């Protein structure tokens, strides 16, 4: 159970590229509290997320319906913070303002990829050497590769991907998947432990597109905004890299 923090969460809230700005809108406070409550469940599948919350390794930002482009500035600051010792092991949780227009899972998926595409459009150092069809492709912003977890209230069956009243995007830098003590990737058995917890929590089998980074058949993008059922992704990635 989560019952303490290294520092108040508000001290790690980003607004217009500045840390420690207290959110004024009620939807922002409600979004965080809902997220925190979900992670407090002892059986929540991702114990990495639980541990990160306990240790104060989460940075937060909020995406307004009317001014989503402000998200770009906060992402730029997040990547800058990763280069400092205090924040080098942090992930970013981006809460979207609840939108009554997002009534279907397809609408969530469109919004999810639209936000990543917007970030890519404003990326000052875009990664162009790989496409999403490469098993080594990961979303990159400002030269920082990140695995992106998309959560939404449109997830009904896959409960572990429903973290509150609005869409939530969690950006996990790829460096976090490397053991700092051994410089080796996190062992597969740890991932399998999470998969077993997902099976119990969601009461459905792990999605067939969930794989391991770098394996020839794995495609990271397929795991970002999973379907609510277990139908495998058969289409092409909605994300398009800019031309060099």
Domain contains 230: no
Q: Judge whether residue 61 has pLDDT over 50.
A: yes
Per-residue confidence band for 183, with pLDDT thresholds at 50, 70 and 90:
low
Whether the CB-CB separation of 27 and 98 falls below 8 Å is answered with: yes
Residue 238 lies in a domain: no
Model pLDDT for residues 17-29, shown as the tens digit of each residue: 999 999 999 999 9
Looking at the domain assignment, is residue 234 inside a domain?
Answer: no
Say if residue 2's pLDDT is above 70: no
Map residue 183 onto helix, strand or coil.
coil
3-class secondary-structure state, position 60: strand
Give the confidence band of 3 by pLDDT, cuts at 50, 70, 90. Answer: very low
Task: Identify whether 212 is part of a domain.
Answer: yes
Question: Is 109 inside any structural domain?
Answer: yes
Q: What is the mean pLDDT of residues 170-191?
A: 80
Torsion angles phi and psi, residue 189, rounded to 5: -65, -30
* Residue 5: pLDDT over 70: no
Label residue 244 by pLDDT band (50, 70, 90): low
In a domain? residue 229: no
pLDDT at 163 over 50: yes
pLDDT per position as a tens digit, 130-143: 999 999 999 999 99
Between CA 6 and CA 81 the distance in angstroms is 17
Per-residue pLDDT averaged across 222-228, rounded?
97
Angle at 117 between CA 128 and CA 229, to 5 degrees: 110
| Inter-CA distances, 225 with 7, 228, 233, Å | 30, 9, 10
More confident residue, 48 or 12: 12
Task: Answer whether 32's CB lies under 8 Å from 60's CB.
Answer: yes
| Mean pLDDT across the chain | 92
Tokens at residue 11, please?
């001290």
Share of the chain above pLDDT 70, in %: 94
Quote the number of domains for the chain: 1
Any domain includes 174: yes
d(CA 118, CA 238): 13
pLDDT at 138: 97
**Which tens digit of pLDDT belongs to each residue from 186-202?**
767 788 888 999 999 99
Q: Which domain holds residue 189?
A: 9-223
Cα–Cα distances in Å, from 244 out to 117, 130, 140, 143, 211?
16, 11, 15, 15, 29
The answer to whether residue 240 sits within a structural domain is no
Instruction: Answer for the pair 185, 177: CB distance below 8 angstroms, yes or no.
Output: yes
pLDDT digits (tens, 9 = 90+) for 76-120: 999 999 999 999 999 999 999 999 999 999 999 999 999 999 999
pLDDT value, residue 181: 67
């Amino acid at each position: 159970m989560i019952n303490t923090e290294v520092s108040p969460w508000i001290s790690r809230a980003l607004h217009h590229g500045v840390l420690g700005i207290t959110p004024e809108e009620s939807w922002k406070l409600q979004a965080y509290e809902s997220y925190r409550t979900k992670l407090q469940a002892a059986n929540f599948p991702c114990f990495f997320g639980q541990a990160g919350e306990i240790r104060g390794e989460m940075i937060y930002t909020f995406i307004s319906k009317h001014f989503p482009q402000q998200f770009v500035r906060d992402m730029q600051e997040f990547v800058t913070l990763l280069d400092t010792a205090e924040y080098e092991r942090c992930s970013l949780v981006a809460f979207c303002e609840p939108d009554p227009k997002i009534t279907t899972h397809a609408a969530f998926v469109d919004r999810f990829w639209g936000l990543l595409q917007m970030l890519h459009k404003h990326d000052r150092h875009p990664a162009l050497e790989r496409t999403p069809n490469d098993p080594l492709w990961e979303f990159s912003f400002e030269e920082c590769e990140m695995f992106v977890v998309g959560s939404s209230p449109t997830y009904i069956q896959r409960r572990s991907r429903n973290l509150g009243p609005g869409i939530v995007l969690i950006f996990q830098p790829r460096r976090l998947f490397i053991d700092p003590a051994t410089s080796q990737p996190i062992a597969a058995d740890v991932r399998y432990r999470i998969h077993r917890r997902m099976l119990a929590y969601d009461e459905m089998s792990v999605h067939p597109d969930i794989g391991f980074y770098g394996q020839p058949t794995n495609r990271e993008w397929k795991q970002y905004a999973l379907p609510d059922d277990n139908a495998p992704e058969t289409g092409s990635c909605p994300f398009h890299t800019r031309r060099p």
